[in-house]
Structure 1
Amino acid sequence: MYLQNSNYKILSNIGSGSGHQVFKVQHNQTSQILALKMEKNSNLGQLEEEIQKLKELSGIIGIPKLIDYGKTKDFKSYLITPLLKRNLQEIAKESLLSLHSTLAIGLSLIEILQHVHKKGILHLDIKPENIMISQPYINVPVDQILSPGFIQLIDFGLSQKIGRKPFLNKVFVGSLRYASRQAHKGNQLGYKDDLESLLYVLVYLRNQKLPWQSLKQLQSQQLEIRKIGEMKEALFNTTVLSQKFPPQFQQFKLYIDSLTQVAIPDYEYIKNLFKSMLSIRDHSQSIKFTGSATLSQSIKGTKQKPNTEQILMLLENLPNNDSIDIPEDLIDTDTQIVLISELINSYSTNSIKSITDIKF
């Protein structure tokens, strides 16, 4: 299979998303191996916004270089970037990352986000799958992880400019595991939401799971969005998420919570928190879960519907490997929240260039 200009030959399919596929390609003249991202449907227009974002972010270390872009013979937009080695999701499945490796990844991403946010751009889909490394292995000295370009942030398909009017009310943007609490509410997002998603990524890398992954599979996607959002809200100001980190990680979390949606974060303060954590040689876990009753058993054992304070208390006493089953009557499902991917896939013309163009 060849692209329209016959400069690239597609070698293999290496991944896919809701509206695109990723291929390994070879430049016919130089034989260079590259990555090509292509729309699944012709004239969808989704990649055009990402191409524009990559142009604006050109020169930022840690953002893949936009090498080429265009359309195929069947009018599918594509973009070409360097082929990176592996993403953090693949790495996390294989082994548990050390504390210092996790913190070094976090510090590198904060540095990247500082430059991205300076351009007024929100990523809005930070997750392990969208964080790549430029080398085959992550098991390297911390200094190498911190070296410019080792960590790469990819996929700006859901990104948008800060300060735009809300593109749609009550639309869920991001990934369920890592989206911010405001994303679960369908609210307008800001710089702090990228930082909150990064925090969840670091907790996942350190623990190989997040507390809300223990939720039983739900019948409706909207209920799942609501329940996970409620769990994040209940857990965020506890010590559950920071139990395998030094105390400064809790400060990072509290700082995120103190920011407004329009506030510009103090990145130097955040970076100094991570540098201080990296300087710690050894530390013990600060929190151990206690108790044997499951959260659902504790809730069902109450005569009245528990308030937020009671839920927080139950969550803090939840055993590490417990299964969570929050009764549906504790969750407000009146608000309808829609996945942005469902809306994007419902369009088949180039009338949509970005998420701001989506209409009900």
Structure 2
Amino acid sequence: MLKIYRFEKYLKLLHFKFQQEFCSYLFNNQKQFPTMYLQTSSYQILSMIGQGSAHQVFKAKNNLTQKVFALKMEKYPMQGQIESEIKILKELNKIEGIPHLIEHGKTADNKGFLIMPQLNCSLRDLVKSQQLSLSSILAIGLSIIKTLEQVHLKKILHLDIKPDNIMISKKIAQNSKEQLLKPGIIQLIDFGLSQTIGNSKFLQNIFIGSLNFASRASHRGEQLGYKDDLESLFYVLVYMRNGKLPWSQKASMKSKDLDIQQIGDMKTSLFNTMTLSKKFPLEFSKLMSLIDDLKHDEMPEYSQIKGLFIKMLQTTSLSQMMDQFLIYSPNQSYNQFGNSETIQIPVEKQLCNNNSIETQIQEDIIDFEAKVQHLSDFIGKYTTIQIKSIVDIKY
């Protein structure tokens, strides 16, 4: 009887080992057998979405529900980065703007994996496919600010804010500020480098993040904090506005240490200068100064930050309304509203012109007070009462 029991136990162990090895084999030979069996369900790998230096991301279908998800897996066994990310995601459960962790575990060869909802596209993809309006960029910024506030209240730092790690959860209309502001549309992903504020002291003398979007403190190897996530976010906003950053092409690829130093020096010299903030309202420069004054472990005043973003959105929306309603052609004399010729161009089409709206406003000869009065007659004096100068409608 004892021999039979041991034999049955041996068969179970053999069967379990076979399942583990087969599971690993399926991952390594996904074109031949593109199915992965987990404890609760099975997933069929459809295609690879992308990969980083330490992980791969696949599009995978749940064979039970037929729903499609994103499956992220370590490239090499025993890395521990996915395991760390799983702990962070559990801590951030139910925070708006953080994807829900569906399943997680390890393969037979100890590669950590996690399964999350499949999102539509990254900010980098969005910037490549269309020119975003300023209001859309600010709406995205405000959404991420709200998410970061909740993340930071958990004493967690993201440490890798960049366009690739900010996702649009579903398709939206082009430059739809209203849709971008809806809860859950903008999602912050990839917490593989994340740490708690208490553990950030162990990250000194180490560069963390990406060359283009890491904070200045990261370039200097200093202890990182809440302010560094916000600094990286501001670089993302500048990237979306300009399509590039001043230091984007500076990496030599010869020496990473040299690149870290040179790009860090550029960020230090250009931070909170017109080079970065010239295409934003004045409040953007105030935000950068506000962040610059913080200590690494000091919690940002998020109510003030959100207030400045809302003010920029309001100013920009009014500016867009004015420019869309009435645009004066350059080098044209102005007498009365009825006598002046106007060109009505949708804002989206204006953004495709070589010259920005800001440049057009500077070049055109505009009787500003008359323009405000004309708009006031159209939408009411209450809306325009706070406009005092051309700066107040800077696009």
Which TM-score tier does this pair reach, normalised by the shorter chain? Answer: 0.7 to 0.9
Paired residues for 1:1-360 under 5 Å: 1-5=34-38, 7-137=42-172, 139-164=174-199, 166-215=201-250, 217=252, 219-280=254-315, 281-282=318-319, 285=358
Q: Look up the match of 2:29.
A: none
The whole-number CA distance in structure 1 between the counterparts of 2:77 and 2:249 is 38
Q: Look up the match of 1:350.
A: none
The whole-number CA distance in structure 1 between the counterparts of 2:173 and 2:297 is 35
Cα deviation, residue 285, structure 1: 3.9
- SS, match of residue 55 in structure 1: helix
The whole-number CA distance in structure 1 between the counterparts of 2:156 and 2:208 is 15
The whole-number CA distance in structure 2 between the counterparts of 1:212 and 1:55 is 36
Q: Which has the higher helix share?
A: 2
Q: What residue identity is the alignment partner of 1:2?
A: T
Q: Look up the match of 1:321.
A: none
Say if 1:66 and 1:80, in contact at 8 Å, map to a contact too.
yes
RMSD: 1.7
1:31-75 deviation digits (Å, cap 9, x = unpaired): 110000000012222100000000000000100000000112332
- SS, match of residue 273 in structure 2: coil
**Compared CA separation, residues 92 and 126, structure 1 to 2 (3 A):** same
Cα deviation, residue 13, structure 1: 0.5
Q: What is the TM-score when the length of structure 2 is the normalising length?
A: 0.70
**Compared CA separation, residues 190 and 36, structure 1 to 2 (3 A):** same
The whole-number CA distance in structure 1 between the counterparts of 2:201 and 2:36 is 36
Moved more, 162-171 or 54-63: 162-171
Say if 1:243 and 1:285, in contact at 8 Å, map to a contact too.
no
**Compared CA separation, residues 138 and 110, structure 1 to 2 (3 A):** farther
The whole-number CA distance in structure 2 between the counterparts of 1:138 and 1:265 is 32
Cα deviation, residue 216, structure 1: 6.1
Say if 1:13 and 1:23, in contact at 8 Å, map to a contact too.
yes
Cα deviation, residue 255, structure 1: 0.5
- The percent identity for this pair of structures is 53
- SS, match of residue 113 in structure 2: strand
Cα deviation, residue 140, structure 1: 4.4
Moved more, 114-123 or 214-223: 214-223
1:189-244 deviation digits (Å, cap 9, x = unpaired): 00000000000000000000001114262521111100000000001132211000
Cα deviation, residue 188, structure 1: 0.8
**Unmatched runs of 5 consecutive residues or more in structure 1:** 287-360
The whole-number CA distance in structure 2 between the counterparts of 1:146 and 1:20 is 31
The whole-number CA distance in structure 2 between the counterparts of 1:224 and 1:138 is 38
Say if 1:4 and 1:71, in contact at 8 Å, map to a contact too.
no
- SS, match of residue 73 in structure 2: strand
The whole-number CA distance in structure 1 between the counterparts of 2:228 and 2:283 is 19
Q: What is the TM-score when the length of structure 1 is the normalising length?
A: 0.77
Q: Look up the match of 1:339.
A: none
